[in-house]
Structure 1
Amino acid sequence: MENSGKPLDKAPDDVKLAVDLIMLLEQHNIDPHLALSALEIVKRDLELRVKESNS
């Protein structure tokens, strides 16, 4: 089997975004506890936006 291109080329967009976010956090040496706390804030904000857009 030949693996052409990067393994993520065929990955779903949410997986690509997750990998990008993980890399960004690692490159900036963000403490995992701080990252989790920030991601909870982001999650609440995005859930509110989704809820508002469905209204």
Structure 2
Amino acid sequence: MSDDKQPSELDRAPDEVKLAVDLIYLLESHQIEPSVALAALEIVKTDLQAKLA
């Protein structure tokens, strides 16, 4: 008997969607307040934009 698993929608999603889902899970599983998460994401965004420049 073969294992014919169909890829889920998430498996077929673009990498940025997969990463977003992982980040949301991480933040929620650690019960991070949304305001703290948004502030941290702004820091991450600024850092990544500097790396692209």
TM, length-normalised to structure 1: 0.82
% identical equivalent positions? 60
Give me the CA root mean square deviation: 0.8
- Report the residue type matching 1:17 in the other structure: L
**1:2-41 CA distance string (max 9 Å, x none):** xx23220100000000000000000000000000000000
Query: Deviation above 4 Å: which 4+ runs of structure 1?
Result: none
- What residue ranges of structure 2 are gaps of 5+ in the alignment? 1-5
- What residue ranges of structure 1 are gaps of 5+ in the alignment? none
TM, length-normalised to structure 2: 0.85
